[in-house]
Structures are given as C-alpha cells and as structure tokens.
Amino acid sequence: MVEVELARIIINETSDQQYIFLREKEGQRQFPIVISIVEAMAIDRFVKEQTTPRPLTHELLNATIVGLGAKVTRVEITELKNGTFYARLVLEGLGGEAVIDARPSDAIALAVRNLAPIFVHEDVIEEVIAF
C-alpha cells in the first residue's frame, strides 16, 4: 500500500461533481476522485479548521466513534471497479481493530478530521494513472 495525502480540493458549486486529488507522500503520482458537494465541503471545512454551530454528519460520526472509545487509525482505498473507488475505514478501540466498508469521500473526511493516514493499494494507483 502507498501512503497518500490530500493534495487539492476543487469545489464548483454549480456542478454535482467535485474533485479531490490524492498525491503520493513519497512520489509524484496523483489522481482525482469525484465526490459530492456535501463531502467536498466537509473535507474543505476540516482542512480550513472551520466549525459549524451544530455537528454535521461527519462530525456526528466522528463524535460517535470517539464516544465509543475508538479512533480512526487509517483509511485504505482498496479497489477501483467500473470507475468507482472502494475504501475501508480502520478503527482501533472497541476491543481491537474494526474495518468498515466506506465511500472514499466519507473515509477521507474522517481521516482529515483525525489526521489519520490515507493509503491506496498500488494496483489502484496503477489502474487510475493508466487512464
């Protein structure tokens, strides 16, 4: 697996498709993931350390994870099938490690919020770069 970082967020409020770009931490390869405006805005808020008067969905989920005594330890983007990325959210606590199927955008929003590392399987990077 290759560790990546959030390189850019492109938000276009007149479009249904927003983009986040992930870049290798120790390399030059990068690629976009198309996400919705809701997740793009959540990620952007976390990056800019902006708060909302009341918790939104990702803040609620994060508070639930923490309230149960767990923490987000990493995100893994595991597959690319028919143009759709698949990811797993990895939590520690709750008596061990829990691996949860998640949309990459939701998992990345939680990773950014928790300063947790993001990893991508090498074959996913190779496939997306080949496009």
Residue 13, pLDDT above cutoff 80: yes
DSSP code at position 21:
E
Q: Which 3 state secondary structure label does DSSP give 89? A: strand
- Is the per-residue pLDDT at 79 higher than 70? yes
126: CATH: 3.10.690.10
Q: What's the mean pLDDT in 101-108?
A: 96
The pLDDT value recorded for residue 90 is 97
Structurally, the chain folds into a number of domains equal to 1
Q: Which residues contact 123 (CB under 8 A, 6 or more apart)?
A: none
- pLDDT for 29 beyond 70: yes
CB count within 10 Å of CB 4 equals 24
Q: Which domain holds residue 86?
A: 2-130
In 3D, which of 122, 57, 112 has the Cα closest to residue 89? 112
Is 17 strand, coil or helix? coil
Over residues 53-76, the mean pLDDT reads: 93
The model carries a pTM of: 0.92
Say what the pLDDT of residue 131 is.
66
Counting Cα atoms < 13 Å in the Cβ hemisphere of 63 gives: 7
pLDDT classification of 7: cutoffs 50, 70, 90: very high
On whether the CB atoms of residues 58 and 41 are closer than 8 A, the answer is no
